A and B are shown apart, each in its own frame.
Chain A
Amino acid sequence: MNSPMPNRRLVLRLLGVVVGMFAFGFALVPIYDVMCQAFGINGKTSGAAYEGAQVENSAREVRVQFLATNNIDMPWEFKPMADDLVVHPGGTNQMLFVASNPTDKPMTAQAIPSIAPSNAAAYFHKTECFCFSQQILQPGERIEMPVRFIVDKDLPADVHHLTLAYTLFDVTDRVPPVAQVSPK
């Protein structure tokens, strides 16, 4: 037999490939998150507060629209205080969202933000957001939750209109607390 490599070593190498590819499958998770944030795939925004400062470009106007959607099991009232806001890129803005728990049990909620058009997501910076942490409301409790954001001054010129959509999920029964699992 003209074995270039003994079976044993070959099999071990191939098993190495198998283990490597299994790990690669899991590595795709953080790789995907990085790609999403870099290219705004799926309208994902950064899960961390934006630290930078920008100069306001008062010559340009962008309309930011706010949507609030409840996931199917979520009985809370959840809505923005206004449908939209016209902002200047570079400037800091704030919008309040109202949430109330109509049930007779304390509940925990997590809001998940998403931006349309998705290529604008990388240009939308939240300096403060209720979506960075979970919200716990007692029965009948109502809160106003702020999101403060900057639309990047380099927002592509063809984008005149941004939509910031939140979906509210009931995470009361989820253990461990999901905030730790969400991107940093």
Chain B
Amino acid sequence: MSAVIDHGHAGHDHHHGPAKGLMRWVLTTNHKDIGTMYLWFSFAMFLLGGSFAMVIRAELFQPGLQIVQPEFFNQMTTMHGLIMVFGAVMPAFVGLANWMVPLMIGAPDMALPRMNNFSFWLLPAAFALLVSTLFMPGGGPNFGWTFYAPLSTTYAPESVTFFIFAIHLMGVSSIMGAINVIATILNLRAPGMTLMKMPLFVWTWLITAFLLIAVMPVLAGVVTMMLMDIHFGTSFFSAAGGGDPVLFQHVFWFFGHPEVYIMILPAFGAVSSIIPAFARKPLFGYTSMVYATASIAFLSFIVWAHHMFTVGIPLTGELFFMYATMLIAVPTGVKVFNWASTMWQGSMTFETPMLFAVAFVILFTIGGFSGLMLAIAPADFQYHDTYFVVAHFHYVLVPGAIFGIFASAYFWLPKWTGHMYDETLGKLHFWMSFIGMNMAFFPMHFVGLAGMPRRIPDYNLMFANFNMISSIGAFMFGATQLLFLFIVIKCIRGGKPAPAKPWDGADGLEWTIPSPAPYHTFSTPPEVK
């Protein structure tokens, strides 16, 4: 890929500087500003959701009730899940998309800049509403992030209405973000940037965006049904009126399973840029990566009931969902093999982004293995709703989604800030996160298999040792993230000036523009050969 660029003349670029003061951020339609706001917002939510996790781990440090009462514990597990999923991971990827997609495809901005601004500003409103429920009489949502009816309808605290409204706002925001990404990718590619030349991050985001517009409306539908059941006397999920609580789970997981891939596919894409850069070797099997991503997305629509193996599905249903779920291992395996082959016979160095990317591949694969075990329906009868499941999804989400985001952040920080981050501190952040995360989540496999159910505030003594180790690991992981904050601030305020292309093996249009990226880029589209 080569590009013709014309960016050295920022001097006479008088009409193109950012506005000054607070209104710059409130009214901005610049993709870089909005991307930055998304990233900061998601980091703030990551710390908030993380502090809820610290409360959970502190309570679980020892058997017995010490710090919080069970009803507050349930609010913590619920809020931790909701905030991490909808507040930390998803907005972080939207932020990365805002920053990088236009730069990667040679577009001047996102296709719908004003909608972009609006979709961001919905988020603080949605989360302010969600968090405020904690202070309402009866407390906040306490029914788990999966909010199964009738616990979340007939038996819910009164604040559930605000929770539903917050989910609606998040949904609208995500949908607008997704439409924007699709419009940008389909309409604003530079001349010569054909679909099969797009970086994988752009590809995975395109597929993610389609998943989002397919399933976020279903989530909106399911919370709307809840709202109607609670306030308008319908009986979608209440057996008393001819409804069915199991229907809730079907509709929820029809959204929920694709949602899981929404949180991981962009990370696949980012890692597919980072590994080749530090292996100094082109990505192995680009085409198969695209097809694998598309097949994962397709399969995600026909596996939802594997979350419900114990609700009493007929034998044929169990078999169908078991086989379909197992099939996901094939395209996922292809991806892992491709990454490993990209590294094979490369000339590798291990800067922080690469460390996070390699940890991503290995630990995500471990999460994949436990996922495969969970797919086996008869064995799932033993795993279901235990800490084994908690271990599984934290292995795919923490080293998967979160490490993917960290890898991306370190990879592109020089481009965003114009400075190199502190490599020593970056490595320290990696190793502390890596050790903390494994210490926190690996023992959860053991307690889960030994019989500890999830979402309980207290447990038998036989689970005590591993829970204590988990808690120590979790505290370590949590504290380490403050180091990340420090590294980012330090990098913004100064440091070694970054060249246009700080990574010698990196490839892509974003490295053809200076660092830091000027406020406006690719006003004249580059030409891609």
Contact = CB atoms under 8 A, between A and B. Distances in A.
A171 B241 CA distance: 8
Contact of A176 (B225, B233, B242): B233
B188 A174 contact: no
Of A14, A15, A19, A112, chain B has the most CB atoms within 10 Å of the CB of A14
A5 B186 contact: yes
A4 B182 CA distance: 12
Given A11-B112, A22-B217, A119-B315, A42 B225 contact: no
A1 B188 contact: yes
B317 A7 contact: no
Nearest to A178: B241
A110 interface: yes
Contacts of B218: 21-22, 24-25, 28
B450 interface: no
Nearest to A39: B314
Nearest to A182: B242
Interface string A1-32: 11111110011001101111111111011001
Contacts of A32: 244, 247, 250
B221 A22 contact: yes
Given A17-B214, A183-B242, A40 B179 contact: no
A107 interface: no
A45 to B, nearest CB: 12
Contacts of A6: 187
Interface residues of B, number: 47
B175 interface: yes
A5 B220 CA distance: 28
B475 interface: no
A181 B182 contact: no
B189 interface: yes
A19 B246 CA distance: 24
A176 B233 CA distance: 7
Contact of A7 (B111, B315, B525): B111
A17 B211 CA distance: 11
Interface residues of A, number: 49
B244 A2 contact: no
Contacts of A100: none
B235 A182 contact: yes
B213 interface: yes
B312 A118 contact: yes
B84 to A, nearest CB: 24
A72 to B, nearest CB: 10
Contact of A43 (B191, B312, B525): B312
A25 B220 contact: yes
Interface in B296-338: 311-317
Contacts of B312: 42-43, 118
B254 to A, nearest CB: 7
Interface string B326-370: 000000000000000000000000000000000000000000000
Contact of B314 (A22, A23, A40, A181): A40
Interface of B: 111-112, 175, 178-179, 182-183, 186-189, 191, 213-222, 224-225, 233-236, 239-244, 246-247, 250-251, 254, 311-317, 525
Closest 10 CB pairs of A and B: A25-B221, A182-B242, A169-B240, A178-B241, A22-B217, A21-B217, A25-B218, A3-B187, A14-B179, A112-B239
8 contacts: A3-B187, A5-B186, A24-B218, A40-B314, A42-B246, A42-B311, A71-B240, A182-B235
